[in-house]
Amino acid sequence: MYGNLDALVLALSQLTQPISLALLIGGIVVGLVIGILPGLGPPIAIALALPFTFYLEPVPSMILLLGIYSAAIYGGSISAIAVGIPGTGAAIATVQDGHKMFKSGRGGEALGFSLTGSIIGGLVSALCLALVSPMLAELAIKFGPREYLAISVFGLLVVVRVAGQSLPKGLLAGALGIFLTTWGLDELNGTERYTFGSYHMYEGLPLVPFLVGLFAMSEVLIGAERALQKIDFSKESLSVKLPGLKTLGKMKDVILRSSLIGTIIGIIPGEGAAVGAFFAYSEAKRRSKHPEKFGTGIPEGIVAPETANNATVGGALVPTLTLGVPGSPAAAVLLGALLIQGLSPGPKLFTERPDLMYSIFIGLFVINILMVFIGLVAIRFAARLIMVPTSVIVPTVMLLCFVGIYSVSNSFFNVGVLLAAGILGYVIRKLGYSIAPLSIGFVLGPILENSLRQSLTIADGSVTEFFNTPIGLVIYAMLILTILWRPLMEWFKRAKTN
């Protein structure tokens, strides 16, 4: 389908252009910096870089964002190990063993394990992305409205299930996100819906300002709360000691398993890097001969979550690129970048822009390889970054959000949307809601509405016709299995012990 040599050559020529190489390296550096700074995770890192992609061609812009995405996830582990404060949610599982190793004088080793695990996880998931996504795209090309409806329902409900501890709260946030996409002109018949007499609202709430507001602006407001907190850290510089092949050989099972867990969890819509890391950590502990040593500062406790969280990057790109359904909040922002470029993610993208697909696959490999060298250098400067006060980060990020969003369209309306989304994100986060279902709902809303209305038209109003599709049935069955899996396993466990 997309396997023509011309596209591959074109991708390579675009990737080797000086601008692409500079952005690739720049993306990794920016991602590492933002990942190290506590509180600013991958979605915020990508959101802040989004406006810059407006001035770039699709390939360099995707390379920049992928570099930021991968490096930000890895960067979070550095502050997790050094100060016990995870730079990102994905690094929370790393704190337990990483910081213990650091405190016992084995910080260099701990940083080496996290870097190596991250690189291997990233490479494995990039390979899976390159192998799985073309096959899935080939299948997805046959999808009609009913299948897209099933995929969207699946994506949304899975996000709701994993986001936060309360299902009704997750559903409320998801439904709110979908509702907000109904603002603007009705795509099917041109009816004005919630435009409030403003021509700005004809196209609805703009995606990029909404997502940047939701992630970055809300984080700014939350960051202001802990602006005066002091970090107990006095090191001038950090060093890293990479593990030898013999040591890695002993952990090959943990590495391979965590890579696959991360990739698979990344593919499931909504299950982000943090879930992957925790799952891999608990799996490594469960299968270990010495599970009691986990949490006391052992290499496996770092390698498992770090391998898995970086493996979610490639996994999350599979549904994003092939179906247009984001695999994680960060992938939702990445999807926004494709829309900025005038590209609609989905199976057709593989036939329309095979060079872009090749560039993404190859780019992700190169990013992970370069991250070894850049990561080794970055760790030396990480001590200084960790010491950057939150009070400096908060106003700078706010200004970046303002200017970045304004620069995309020279529109104060978009800045207003950014601000409103930031306030909404802040309020719901403070009230214990997760912003993941809201953001995914906002991305999936138009797909859901269009596929639902088209499906009903095709089925002549009959709801049972929704299920008269083999692919749709498989997706619904997977959804039911996903929802019932945990209760069923617990039930089996209880039955076994009784």
Residues near other proteins, by CB under 8 A: 52, 55, 164-166, 168-169, 171-172, 175-176, 178-179, 182, 186, 188-194, 217, 220-222, 224-228, 389, 391-392, 394-396, 398-400, 402-403, 406-407, 410, 412, 415-416, 419, 422-423, 426-427, 430-432, 445, 449, 452-454, 456-457
Q: Closest approach of Cβ 29 to other proteins, in Å?
A: 15
Among residues 241, 357, 281, 269, the alpha carbon closest in space to that of 121 is found at: 281
Tokens of 234: 């006095």
Residue number, 194 or 491, with CB nearest to other proteins = 194
Q: How many alpha carbons fall within 13 Å on the CB side of residue 460? A: 0
Among residues 91, 27, 122, the alpha carbon closest in space to that of 273 is found at: 91
Residue number, 252 or 430, with CB nearest to other proteins = 430
Residue labelled with tokens 């509405």: 449
Residue number, 48 or 251, with CB nearest to other proteins = 48
CA pair distance 313, 65, nearest whole angstrom = 12
Residue number, 399 or 474, with CB nearest to other proteins = 399
CA pair distance 232, 229, nearest whole angstrom = 10
Q: Is 468 exposed, middle or buried (0-12, 13-18, 19+ CB in 10 A)?
A: exposed
Q: Is 295 left (phi over 0), alpha (psi -120 to 50) or beta?
A: left
CA pair distance 211, 215, nearest whole angstrom = 6
Q: Closest approach of Cβ 423 to other proteins, in Å?
A: 7
Q: Closest approach of Cβ 67 to other proteins, in Å?
A: 18
Residue number, 101 or 153, with CB nearest to other proteins = 153
Q: What is the DSSP string of 180-206?
A: HTT-EE-TTT--EES-TT-GGGGG-S-
AA letter at 295: G
**Cross-strand bridge partners of residue 192:** 185
Residue number, 21 or 171, with CB nearest to other proteins = 171
Residues 6+ apart with CB under 8 A from 155: 269, 270, 319, 325, 326, 440, 444
CA pair distance 142, 331, nearest whole angstrom = 23
Q: Are 267 and 133 in contact (CB under 8 A)?
A: no
Q: Closest approach of Cβ 154 to other proteins, in Å?
A: 16
Angle at 343 between CA 28 and CA 203, to 5 degrees: 110
Relative to beta strand 184-185, strand 192-193 is antiparallel
Residue number, 127 or 222, with CB nearest to other proteins = 222
Q: Closest approach of Cβ 183 to other proteins, in Å?
A: 8
Q: Closest approach of Cβ 8 to other proteins, in Å?
A: 31
Residue number, 34 or 366, with CB nearest to other proteins = 34
Q: Closest approach of Cβ 174 to other proteins, in Å?
A: 9
Q: Closest approach of Cβ 402 to other proteins, in Å?
A: 7
Residue number, 288 or 454, with CB nearest to other proteins = 454
Q: Closest approach of Cβ 185 to other proteins, in Å?
A: 9
CA pair distance 408, 334, nearest whole angstrom = 16
Residue ranges with strand state E in 126-199 = 184-185, 192-193
**Would you give the DSSP letter of residue 141?**
T
Q: Is 295 exposed, middle or buried (0-12, 13-18, 19+ CB in 10 A)?
A: middle
Q: Closest approach of Cβ 291 to other proteins, in Å?
A: 26
Q: Closest approach of Cβ 487 to other proteins, in Å?
A: 17
Residue number, 130 or 221, with CB nearest to other proteins = 221
CA pair distance 435, 177, nearest whole angstrom = 9
Q: Taking the CA atoms of 311, 313, 319 and 321 in sequence, report the sign of the dihedral they define.
A: negative
Element (H, E) at 259: helix 252-267
Residue number, 158 or 302, with CB nearest to other proteins = 158
Q: Closest approach of Cβ 434 to other proteins, in Å?
A: 10
Q: Closest approach of Cβ 438 to other proteins, in Å?
A: 11
Residue number, 194 or 467, with CB nearest to other proteins = 194
Helix (H, G, I), strand (E, B) or coil at 151: helix
Residue number, 140 or 415, with CB nearest to other proteins = 415
